[in-house]
């Protein structure tokens, strides 16, 4: 069968890579002189260090690649530049906001998840100099590399929405699942809610997990129903986009669910200001005139902040026109610097930004990096696989999986657009385990192989 052939071919390629010499052949890489295996293994001084591989960011994508690369190339070859003491499993925050999980379950200490064979440079990258294969950290260290992996995630720009910071600080009814520090306000706001407008918004920027702004709405609506608050609640969704979800198959289901559950969907409406003093949300009506503002009172307001690429990435030669890391959508290799690679939310892969996408990207990235290190042309091709478990209640979920074409790429041989309890348990109980023990350890590269098996080799 096709998948068996693929597995044997990729295994033989891997075996070839493990024995091949890692040499980079690129004209711009002026400072690369020797075989990476002969490089100094530890920093020669406190202000300067040199590694074969440097990974910027110890989040989902950074750790997935750092684990793999350090396993393959050995101790001291890989450094991870990461300032944070903590690592978060962000997909759990939907369920924390919904009151099903505790936020502490989403957090581990960075020292406990950092791969043992990596050197952790506990500092922030502040400047990239890809012409000289180096970066500078906030403490003024220069870190040189042969190969760079950028995995810095998205920057949350709370201050770019008028009134949001103030509202999150002072109004208990304004909440946000997008940060560990604000996520526990969401369930409290649901509990405090008595009656009125419960408003859920979508930002007018790129977003990580584009389903998260509406998942929490379904959990809240169910909570109101089960706690005798639904009659007085007007549940409203506002999005600047023209559709409730990008992939049409799942958009149709979500529209139907909203209709059946009496949720008012307002597309092409952009939240421009929050007035916590008077508990009002101000929207620009993109359907007619963006200057036409509509003011809606709220009794609960969930707001994902504006998001974008990290400022230092945007200001660097590594950024593409959107400000995100410019990579080949097939291989994850940088479009200008062949020894630079990217994974996850900070890249311009034209797919939905999720941890599931990172799983799919990680397998491709490893093949790409191994090919480049071996002086070969990258051959692996990412299909844009991404997934969004659209939680619709405490016992139900629509497991959306799709690719660059926005066509379904479903793992299981059933119609996944049907709400299922099994999909909910997968999201709540199985995926966290797969994340901590598989994805960030670099051993889970997405469900592609299972999909082919379960579809008897006939899936894409
Ligand atoms: P991150 O995991 O955010 O890591 C980035 C890392 O880079 C951080 O550790 C940060 O400290 C570090 N960093 C930043 N700047 C610098 C710098 N200058 N120097 C060095 N390091 C730096 N995905 C799903 O698959 N399914 C879901 O159901 C789902 N639900 C979600 C719900 C919510 C509420 C949220 C917020 C996200 C959800 N996601 C979901 C998305 C998923 O969590 C992200 O797509 C994924 O974690 C991104 O991984 P990353 O490695 O790109 O970035």
Tens of pLDDT along 323-356? 999 999 999 999 999 999 999 999 999 999 999 9
pLDDT tops 90 at residue 116: yes
Instruction: Point out which residues pair with 393 in neighbouring strands.
Output: 396
pTM above threshold 0.85: yes
Contact 336, 317 (CB under 8 A): yes
φ, ψ dihedrals at 149, nearest 5° = -115, 125
Confidence grade of residue 296 (pLDDT, cut at 50, 70, 90): very high
The answer, yes or no, to whether residue 29 has pLDDT greater than 50, is no
Q: In ligand 1, which atom is closest to the CA atom of 152?
A: 7
User: Collapsing DSSP states into helix, strand and coil, what is residue 236?
Assistant: strand
Q: What's the CA-to-centroid distance between 344 and ligand 1, angstroms?
A: 8
Say how many Å lie between the CA of residue 63 and the centre of ligand 1: 11
User: Any bridge partners for residue 297, and if so which?
Assistant: 280
Q: What is the phi/psi pair of residue 233, to 5°?
A: -105, 135
Structure tokens at 176: 């946000």
Residues noted as catalytic? 209, 388
Q: How far apart are CA 415 and CA 448, in angstroms?
A: 17
Mean per-residue pLDDT over the chain, rounded: 91
For the chain, what's the residue count?
460
Name the residue among 270, 346, 344, 264 with its Cα closest to residue 311. Answer: 346
State whether the beta carbon of 156 lies less than 6 angstroms from ligand 1.
no
> Cβ(90) to ligand 1 under 6 A?
yes
- CA of 180 from ligand 1 middle (Å) equals 12
C-alpha torsion sign, points 119, 120, 122, 123: positive
**Any ligand 1 atom below 6 A from CB of 143:** no
Distance from residue 386's CA to the centre of ligand 1 (Å):
14
Residue-wise pLDDT tens digits, 63-113 = 999 999 999 999 999 999 999 999 999 999 999 999 999 999 999 999 999
**CB distance 356 to ligand 1 below 6 Å:** yes
Q: Whose CA is nearest to atom 43 of ligand 1?
A: 90
Q: Measured between alpha carbons, how far is 427 from 344 in angstroms, rounded to an integer?
A: 20
Q: Which two tokens stand for residue 190?
A: 């649901």
For ligand 1, say whether the CB of 271 is within 6 Å of any of its atoms.
Answer: no
């Amino acid at each position: 069968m096709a998948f068996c052939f693929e597995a044997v071919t990729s295994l033989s390629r891997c075996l070839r890579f493990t024995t091949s010499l890692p040499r980079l052949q690129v004209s711009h890489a002026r400072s690369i002189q020797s075989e990476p295996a002969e490089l100094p293994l530890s920093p020669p001084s406190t202000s300067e260090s040199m590694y074969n591989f440097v990974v910027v960011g110890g989040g989902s994508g950074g750790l997935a690649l750092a684990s793999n690369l350090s396993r393959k190339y050995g101790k001291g070859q890989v450094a991870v530049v990461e300032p944070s003491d903590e690592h978060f499993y962000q997909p759990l925050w939907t369920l924390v906001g919904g009151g099903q999980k505790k936020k502490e379950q989403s957090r581990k200490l960075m020292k406990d998840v950092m791969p043992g064979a990596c050197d952790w440079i506990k500092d922030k990258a502040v400047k990239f100099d890809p012409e000289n294969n180096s970066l500078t950290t906030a403490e003024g260290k220069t870190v040189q590399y042969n190969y760079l992996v950028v995995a810095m995630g998205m920057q949350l720009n709370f201050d770019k929405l008028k009134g949001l910071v103030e509202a999150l600080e002072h109004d208990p009814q304004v909440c946000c699942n997008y940060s560990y520090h604000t996520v526990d306000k969401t369930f409290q706001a649901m509990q405090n809610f008595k009656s009125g407008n419960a408003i859920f918004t979508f930002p007018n920027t790129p977003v990580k997990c584009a389903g998260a702004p509406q998942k929490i709405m379904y959990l809240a609506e169910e909570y109101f129903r089960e706690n005798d608050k639904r009659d007085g609640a007007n549940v409203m969704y506002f999005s600047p986009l023209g559709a409730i979800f990008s992939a049409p198959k799942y958009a149709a289901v979500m529209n139907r669910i909203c209709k059946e559950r009496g949720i008012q969907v307002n597309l092409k409406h952009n939240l421009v200001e929050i007035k916590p003093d008077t508990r009002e949300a101000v929207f620009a009506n993109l359907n007619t005139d963006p200057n036409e503002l509509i003011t809606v009172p709220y009794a609960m307001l969930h707001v994902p902040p504006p998001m974008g690429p990290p400022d230092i990435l945007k200001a660097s030669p590594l950024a593409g026109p959107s400000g995100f890391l410019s990579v080949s959508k097939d291989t994850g290799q940088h479009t200008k610097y062949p020894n630079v690679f990217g994974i996850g939310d900070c890249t311009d892969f034209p797919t939905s930004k999720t941890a599931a996408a990172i799983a799919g990207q990680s397998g491709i990235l490893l093949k790409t990096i191994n090919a480049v290190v071996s002086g070969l042309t990258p051959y692996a091709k990412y299909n844009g696989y991404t997934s969004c478990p659209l939680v619709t209640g405490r016992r139900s979920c629509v497991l959306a999986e799709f690719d660059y074409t926005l066509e379904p790429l479903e793992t299981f041989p059933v119609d996944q657009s049907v709400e299922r309890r099994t999909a909910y348990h997968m999201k709540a109980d199985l995926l966290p385990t797969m994340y901590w023990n598989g994805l960030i350890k670099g051993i889970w590269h997405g469900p592609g192989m299972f999909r082919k098996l379960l579809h008897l080799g006939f899936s894409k």
